Structure 1
Amino acid sequence: MAVEKIRLFEFARERWPLTVRVLPTNGFPSFASKPNLYDLYRAIEAACEPGGEWTAEDEWTGLANWSFHQALWSLAEQSSAERIVYRDEISFEMFDARMRANLLDDCWIAERQEYEDSPLRFH
């Protein structure tokens, strides 16, 4: 099963709020956010849980949600002052880099090859 990378990115992006307010902290993590990024991720994951048996599409959805979360988190960490992070600041390239990094684990060998072989868009 080939995946359409751009579609996967667009669907993941649509699940996130348009903006997240980021406030730097002196602790770990180095920021606080409103709403909380991890709580948002957990809610998105819960909303995407299949009603029955997991399918390959469900696996791709979960991986895409996590990759988008990581990209947003990375932007939030870079903030040295209070700011609004917009979900549209996450480019496909940022998302794709996270997807590829997540697929490096040996448990994802088949999926990694599938992702590498898949087009950006189906024609």
Structure 2
Amino acid sequence: MRRDLERLGRFDAHRVRQRLRDSFSPRYTSVVLAGDAFAGSVTLRPAEDGWWLEHFYLDPALHGRGLGSAVLHSLLRRTDADGAPARLNVLQGSPARRLYERLGFTVVAEDPVDVFMLRQPGAR
């Protein structure tokens, strides 16, 4: 994420750490493993309007190998079973946006920094 925040002129190490501290929810956060090794983490948090997918971080060395897709497919099976939409936001220009769009997320709003996306249950 740092590279994208720097590209947008928005990287501030303190603000990034504080944002995670303020919204971190261990109850809804899962560790991602690649084999037996730590590969990242992701939060899928229930909300009044469905589910929020947040703090999805994967080791950059593992990008492009299908791990992110596999993790998201697993999470989205849960939201689909619940019959509820999933929401997320992604930074403007992030390559992750293409992954989210392939999995059925559509843009509902944008600002100069973030793209807010929604996926209805069962979307492809």
Higher normalized strand content (fraction of residues): 2
Higher normalized helix content (fraction of residues): 1
Point out the structure with max Rg over C-alpha. Answer: 1
If the TM-score is normalised by the length of the shorter chain, which range does it land in? under 0.3
Higher relative contact order (CA 8 A, sep 6+): 1
Q: Name the TM-score, length of structure 2 as normaliser.
A: 0.27
Q: Name the TM-score, length of structure 1 as normaliser.
A: 0.27
